[in-house]
């Protein structure tokens, strides 16, 4: 037999990791190509999308820089492309984790696909109908109460909407993602509970980065739903997570030898 070397052990770790990295790259390329195709289509409808987005604000939007309207159209077309590409994103994510699931667990593909799509659309709807009108009306009314006439630039307005919508759309996937990761054994509910405070801190930091103005009001409007969704993810990990496998106890020194020797001694009583 060939002697076992550290190089062989390293190859056993590196080769599967390289395969996973290549698989991730391939699926990211597919997702990127899908987004690019939908972006080209959505860009031709960017004017209609901008008119639809400015519904909470009754006045016309303006632009100050020559290229501001162009960049606003690019951003809103990118948002539409991402939304239209969500089915492909979910499919590629599922195909990546599918080999780690059992045969009976792989039957969940179709229900989880529609569940993930529903969560994303629910996040968009919640943000568009509740969060964005609340935030826009709050800031516009705040300025008008101080005799300041609101004139919103199209670039700032679209950037504000796009960041909020994408953040809430993907944030509503947190419970589903945590439940799937718990099912394949990557995370467990006790670990998620242990890092609950860290998750709250990350939610506050992400809210400060994503929100355009980073005021306390808008930060809380985004951070609080993120924390609630994380708690729902913990519940999902408890309900659907794979139970940890019991680790067999190793026999104490000498105990196994004594048991094996005692089992070899025949019972001579009564002979």
- Rounded CA separation 182/194 (Å): 15
Note down pLDDT in tens along the chain; length 271 residues: 455 555 555 555 456 678 878 888 999 999 999 999 999 999 999 888 888 887 767 778 888 888 888 999 999 999 999 989 988 988 888 888 777 777 776 777 778 888 888 999 999 999 888 888 888 888 888 888 888 888 888 888 888 888 888 889 988 999 988 988 888 778 888 999 999 999 999 999 888 887 766 678 888 888 999 999 999 999 988 888 766 665 555 555 555 444 444 444 444 444 4
Q: Reduce the DSSP state of residue 153 to 3 states and report it.
A: strand
Which letter, b or e, does each residue of 198-207 get, where b requires 16 or more Cβ atoms within 10 Å of its Cβ? ebbeebbebb
State the burial class of residue 37 (Cβ atoms within 10 Å of its Cβ: 0-12, 13-18, 19+).
middle
């Amino acid at each position: 037999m060939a002697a076992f070397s550290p190089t062989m052990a390293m190859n056993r770790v590196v080769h599967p990791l390289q395969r996973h990295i290549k698989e991730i790259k391939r699926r990211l390329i597919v997702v990127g190509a899908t987004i690019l195709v939908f972006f080209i289509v959505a860009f031709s409808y960017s004017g209609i999308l901008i008119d639809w987005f400015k519904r909470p604000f009754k006045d016309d939007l303006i632009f100050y820089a020559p290229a501001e309207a162009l960049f606003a159209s690019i951003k809103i077309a990118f948002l539409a492309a991402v939304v239209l590409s969500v089915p492909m994103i979910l499919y590629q994510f599922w195909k990546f984790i599918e080999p780690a699931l059992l045969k009976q667990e792989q039957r969940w593909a179709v229900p989880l696909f529609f569940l993930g799509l529903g969560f994303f659309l629910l996040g968009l709807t919640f943000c568009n109908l509740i969060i964005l009108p609340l935030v826009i009306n709050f800031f516009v009314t705040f300025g008008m109460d101080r005799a300041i006439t609101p004139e919103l630039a199209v670039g700032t307005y679209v950037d504000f909407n796009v960041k909020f919508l994408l953040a809430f759309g993907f944030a509503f996937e947190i419970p589903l993602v945590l439940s799937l990761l718990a099912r394949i054994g990557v995370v467990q509910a006790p670990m998620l509970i242990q890092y609950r405070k860290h998750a709250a801190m990350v939610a506050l930091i992400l809210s400060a980065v994503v929100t355009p103005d980073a005021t306390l009001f808008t930060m809380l409007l985004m951070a609080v739903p993120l924390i609630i969704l994380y708690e729902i993810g913990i519940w999902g990990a408890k309900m659907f997570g794979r139970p940890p496998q019991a680790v067999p106890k190793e026999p104490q020194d000498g105990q196994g030898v004594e048991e094996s020797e005692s089992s070899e001694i025949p019972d001579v009583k009564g002979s």
